[in-house]
Amino acid sequence: MLSARYALPHRLRELLVSVCDVCAVLVPRGAERPAGGSNRRLSVQRHGHRTLPPGIYGVGKGATSRPALAVLSHTPPAATQTIAWVGKGVVYDTGGLILKGKTQLPGMKRDCAGAAAVLGAFSAAVKQVGVGRVGAPPAWSGASGGFWLSIHTALPPCSLEQGFKENLHAILCLAENCTGPRATRPDDIHRLYSGKTVEIRNTDAEGRLLLADGAAYALRDLKADVILDMATLTGAQGVATGRYHGALLTNDEDWEKACVAAGRSSGDLVQPLVYTPELHFSEFSSAMADVKNFDRSNAPCSCAGLFIGGQLGFSWSGVWIHVDMASPAYSGERATGYGVALLLALFGRSTDDALLQLISPAGPERHGGASEVAKGAPKRRKLI
């Protein structure tokens, strides 16, 4: 099993159990801190209201701390593929105007576990080499309030010795889902970053709105070949795959097998869900918009993931992977740090670390060479 020490698990667990107001604490306005050299720094840029994707804004607009989209980028010059990890970072989830019950609210500070896992894995993978780069945010006119964050590769140093060979982006979708006069209402209609409109039927189904915008940003602005989103998305995950296995949904059978193998190697177990968008995506049909954001009548865990995948388009030639880790993210009252080891193991072939390469299932060498990955296949369909 991959040692948890590889991914700074203690820091992530402490983050999940102690910090609720993470938007204000981790990304203060105008922050710019040196991190070991003039070419290595953390810079936070605040932009106007026209730059925040509306799905993220709609979830967090009722909170005192404004929502944010944070993008951390590692772009080595010899990279041949672009990988994006998208994390759900709901720093506290009251359910919005469809308020959670009094027994469901305690522990909701852990609803940012997906973003925490992505942050930890990114930190471990790129070794803080100081070559991150983020382009200017796109113009957007569909929201008001909020801000956009561009964070360059410069997290606190760690002891790892590997770098990452491919373009790697960590997209953190940060918001606090609160009640209040400015909060999103059931029946509201938002236009997501993908351009599709969504009818809000349940304000407590907010995570898919964040990830929909994060995934669409990865495709539209970062031109990602592989997009993986990770989230404490549904209570149905615990019913579908239990306390120890995250729920896995992907549009690529080879990557599904690789994810399962990486879970076994790392200890962050995953179990595939039914992937049949031709049967299930119709559950989101709306008379008012392109889609609605909630339906519990059929395969709720699979459908929640399909809502995110639908923003990319089911004909997209790239690889999309969804991991719902609502139950494995915590044990009792404490967070587990689930997800960090899974990401490092899955993409270990893109690092210089011998251990990660050894346990990584993703690569032609582990799958029989050209028999598994055709030489003429588009690069977006190749395993890393």
Catalytic positions are 100, 208
Q: Which distant-in-sequence residues (6+ apart) come within 8 Å of 306 by Cβ?
A: 249, 275, 277, 280, 281, 284
Cα–Cα nearest to 361, from 256, 249, 229, 268 = 256
How far, in Å, CA of 318 to CA of 210, rounded?
20
Return the bridge partners of 351, or none: 164
Joined together, the tokens standing for residue 329 give 């993210």
How far, in Å, CA of 118 to CA of 218, rounded?
14
Q: Say if residues 30 and 135 touch (Cβ distance below 8 Å).
A: no
Q: Helices (DSSP H) in 52-112: which residue ranges?
A: 54-60
Place of tokens 């898919």: 208
Strand-strand pairing, 40-43 and 32-37? antiparallel
How far, in Å, CA of 65 to CA of 62, rounded?
9
The amino acid that residue 164 corresponds to is: F
Question: What is the DSSP secondary structure assignment for residue 136, as one 8-state letter?
Answer: P
Q: Helices (DSSP H) in the chain: which residue ranges?
A: 9-18, 22-26, 54-60, 113-126, 207-220, 236-241, 253-266, 277-280, 300-309, 340-346, 354-359
Reported in sequence order, the residue ranges of 139-265 that DSSP labels E, i.e. its strands, are 147-152, 167-177, 189-191, 197-199, 226-231, 246-250
Strand-strand pairing, 82-93 and 167-177? parallel
